[in-house]
Structure 1
Amino acid sequence: MKLKKIASLMLAGVMAVSMLAGCQNANVDPEQPTDPETPTATGYSVEMASNLSDAAKKDYIAFEDNADDLTALEDALGNMSWTTTAGNTALPKVVTAVHDWDAVDTSLVVKDFINGAGLKENQLVYNDMWNALLNNRLEDDETVKYGLLYVIDGTVDVNKALKQVANKVENLLENLPNVNVSDTARYTFDYTVSVSVANKALDVIDWYNGSANFIAVTVTRVPTAA
């Protein structure tokens, strides 16, 4: 009799524990599904764009980094020796167009970057790019790509340098047309602006080793028949 009573008490204890566990589980909120994370836009192109006015960031202009541009830039800089600026030629403290920089080896850099990035113009000159994208009435039906190349002392903060670049290209971007001017064939245009930055070690003067940041800006125009 005592054994039956003990067994009954044990069974009752097990049931009580089970019921308590069930109540505790019932009070736990079911796992809530998590919202997918929204990818954050990053890169030099977006950073440069953050310094532009709304007028330069129209809905038909996208800002995206281009890995091929960066590869072409890094390859082109292989033309520059580390003694490029030897002889006390100073690295520019503000963003300067490469074709205006008083240093050797830059002509080969320009040529190779144009070829490697698949650019249309031959000197990476702002006025040429302006005329090609805003004044040129040819090639409306073709995808075309133009570019600029700047240089600045490598000790200048890159984001500060990109702010200077934005100031240089803002007027161009503000005036990019969404449609062509033609009496026969009509096209709408979309653009992708890509910014690449590559650092190159240079011997600024005989006793000081520095570096320069080269900043490329390319604009790709894609037409769509209207």
Structure 2
Amino acid sequence: MKLKKIASLMLAGIMAVSMLAACGEGTGNNNGGANSEPTAPTSTTTTDLYSKLDKDNQKNISPLADTDLDSALAAAVDRIGTIPVAYGYALSDDLVTVKTNGIDGDILSGVGVDMGEMGGKIYNSLLDAAKILSDKLEPVNPVLNPDAIVRQLQAHPKGDASAVAFFMINGTTGIDSALNEVAEELDTIVASLPLDSDENGKNYMYKYTLSASVDSKTIDLLGTMTANYIAVKIDRTTVQR
């Protein structure tokens, strides 16, 4: 309870200051002291994430580094404004999943703060970034709820398909620890991916690849604050038998 209270006070203070710093910022551009040069992702992010999946799930998907995903995430992170960075920093090592129906409610209630309009600003900025991520990766759809990845791929059973998920976490959390949390989310998803299907008397075989990218953004607000952003893409190749 004491830690929860500290997090609550910290987040409330950060949001009060960030509202002043973000005047004229809107929901998502990189004003208000935000660093416009995010950290470049490492080439090992994909293999690092893949290695953290359950061994049985590794049999059903292969790692594949994707420079297009790296570039798309960099463009998306560049769009994120001061308030979401401060928010991501304030949440310690909690992984935030950006969803189409809002930021994870457990995360918001977990620090005991009524975000109100501020919550809308945070979500709109992250949603805007996710849309940029998707646009850069066309024809990938922005599957902001990772649980919907399976449904997205199943909606197109006869051809190749892709889906992407988007996460945020405190920048002081080690990338290795952050990828552990993402892997926990992905294990359920990968285990649910079908390896084949029958459509109108025809059989289709599926092969999957996993790509991941990490980027970060730093602001100067009550000291230096950094948030990390993680994009995960699943591509499916379809072969008719």
Partners in 2 of 1:198 and 1:45 — Cα distance?
Answer: 13
Partner SS, residue 199 of structure 2: coil
Partners in 2 of 1:157 and 1:182 — Cα distance?
Answer: 44
In the alignment, which residue of structure 1 is the partner of 2:203? 186
Does 2:56 match 1:55?
yes
Partners in 1 of 2:209 and 2:152 — Cα distance?
Answer: 16
Give the AA of the match of 1:108.
Answer: D
Does 2:163 match 1:146?
yes
Does 2:224 match 1:223?
no
Does 2:235 match 1:211?
no
Task: Give the superposed CA RMSD.
Answer: 2.3
Partners in 2 of 1:201 and 1:162 — Cα distance?
Answer: 20
* Count of aligned pairs: 179
Change (3 A) 1:87 1:68: closer
Structure 2: 5+ residue runs without aligned partners?
1-42, 105-118
C-alpha contact (below 8 Å) 1:84/1:202 kept by paired residues: no
Q: Structure 1 residue 120: deviation in Å?
A: 3.6
In the alignment, which residue of structure 2 is the partner of 1:162? 179
C-alpha contact (below 8 Å) 1:118/1:145 kept by paired residues: no
Scaled by the length of structure 2, what TM-score is found?
0.67
Partner SS, residue 49 of structure 1: helix
Q: Structure 1 residue 160: deviation in Å?
A: 1.0
C-alpha contact (below 8 Å) 1:187/1:225 kept by paired residues: yes
Percent identical across equivalent pairs? 21
Partners in 1 of 2:212 and 2:57 — Cα distance?
Answer: 15
Change (3 A) 1:122 1:84: closer
Structure 1: 5+ residue runs without aligned partners?
1-41
Deviation string 1:97-150 (CA, Å, 9 cap, x unpaired) is 1231642511210110111122543442123212223xx3x4222211101110
**Residue correspondence of structure 1 range 68-217 to structure 2 within 5 A:** 68-85=68-85, 90-99=90-99, 100=103, 102=119, 103=122, 105-133=125-153, 136=154, 138-203=155-220, 206-217=221-232
Partners in 1 of 2:162 and 2:132 — Cα distance?
Answer: 15
In the alignment, which residue of structure 2 is the partner of 1:45? 46
Change (3 A) 1:127 1:52: closer
Q: Structure 1 residue 93: deviation in Å?
A: 2.0
Partner SS, residue 194 of structure 2: coil
Partners in 1 of 2:141 and 2:62 — Cα distance?
Answer: 21
Partner SS, residue 227 of structure 2: strand
Of 177-186 and 87-96, the range deviating more from structure 2: 87-96
Scaled by the length of structure 1, what TM-score is found?
0.71
Partners in 2 of 1:191 and 1:87 — Cα distance?
Answer: 34
C-alpha contact (below 8 Å) 1:119/1:146 kept by paired residues: no
Partner SS, residue 118 of structure 1: coil
Work out which of the two has the higher radius of gyration on C-alpha atoms and give 1 or 2: 1
Change (3 A) 1:159 1:144: same
Partners in 1 of 2:87 and 2:164 — Cα distance?
Answer: 30
C-alpha contact (below 8 Å) 2:86/2:226 kept by paired residues: no
Partner SS, residue 170 of structure 1: helix
Change (3 A) 1:85 1:214: closer
Q: Structure 1 residue 216: deviation in Å?
A: 0.6
Deviation string 1:61-110 (CA, Å, 9 cap, x unpaired) is 21122110010010011212245445898245222112316425112101
